[in-house]
Amino acid sequence: MVPTSPRETAAPADAEARPGPRELASAPEGAPAEQGLRERKKRARRAALIDAAQELVAEHGLDAVTVEMISAEAGVSARTFFNYFESKDDAVLGAEDTGIPEDVVRTFVEGGPTGRLLTDVQAVVASLLASAGESHDRVMRAMDLMQQEPRLLQRHVIWMDRHKTRLTELFDARRATAPFSASNELLTMLVLLLLRTALVAWEHAGYTGDPADHLPAAVAQLIDVVAHDLDS
């Protein structure tokens, strides 16, 4: 990907720091109501930036759109933009590090919510599916724009690699608290497999309900395959 300006390749030093899994596990919890309100405001602002980026790029093309244009359309400053996205490309794609809520990360790292690895991985996947369900229209627009702008596809590949890295960090943090034998690569592939299986089932259902509704069936299929092989 060829950056259009230095500002579109890296966030400034005063951008919001994104804590890793270990930091989240040890961070003190504030008042739930206050945390919930703050999180809703952040997600609303983030959604406004994605909508603005997608609409402007659809109308003017990727090269003609700037971070300043997106920020103005969303009603925020360019400095605020970089608290949410590293580049305008990421805003168009709606990319984020993992999409896993901080409380889900903290619970998983601490060995929860059940102490059974597969069940707890399912909880992580469910949180990712919840995000996908809320942003279905934006995801579909991003896919359409990737077909029009090849550079966005390149950026999507980079984001996927980062996504896998964040999952690896999550599993490493969990392993330090509640050791397990499964490899990080296997668990990462498991997360992606369950995500895809549930999302495809949701698509076949006409996008009715929530994508997470299809997750138990995906897990059941996986367990059935493993059990069948063990019985053979």
Q: Torsions phi, psi of 178, nearest 5? A: -135, 85
**Confidence check: pLDDT of 102 > 90:** no
Percent of the chain with pLDDT over 90: 47
**Confidence check: pLDDT of 124 > 90:** yes
Quote the tokens at residue 68. 């300043």
Radius of gyration of the chain (CA): 19
Peptide bond into 32 cis (omega under 30): no
Instruction: Give the residue with greater pLDDT, 172 vs 200.
Output: 172
* pLDDT of amino acid 23: 55
Q: Among residues 183, 7, 168, which one has the least CA distance to residue 97? A: 168
Q: Among residues 45, 70, 44, 68, which one has the least CA distance to residue 57? A: 70
Return the sign of the alpha-carbon dihedral for residues 209, 89, 151, 60: positive
Mean pLDDT, rounded, of the chain: 83
Q: Among residues 178, 45, 207, which one has the least CA distance to residue 119? A: 178
**Confidence check: pLDDT of 172 > 90:** yes
Encode pLDDT of 212-228 as tens digits.
999 999 999 888 888 76
**Confidence check: pLDDT of 118 > 90:** yes
Three-point CA angle 29, 35, 38, nearest 5°: 145
118 CB neighbour count, 10 Å cutoff: 15
**Confidence check: pLDDT of 74 > 80:** yes
Residues 9 and 87 sit within 8 Å (Cβ to Cβ): yes
Distance between CA 232 and CA 221 in Å, rounded? 17
pTM of the prediction?
0.67
Under the banding of pLDDT at 50, 70 and 90, the label for residue 83 is very high
Map out the domains of the chain with their CATH numbers: 1-7+34-92 (1.10.357.10), 95-232 (1.10.357)
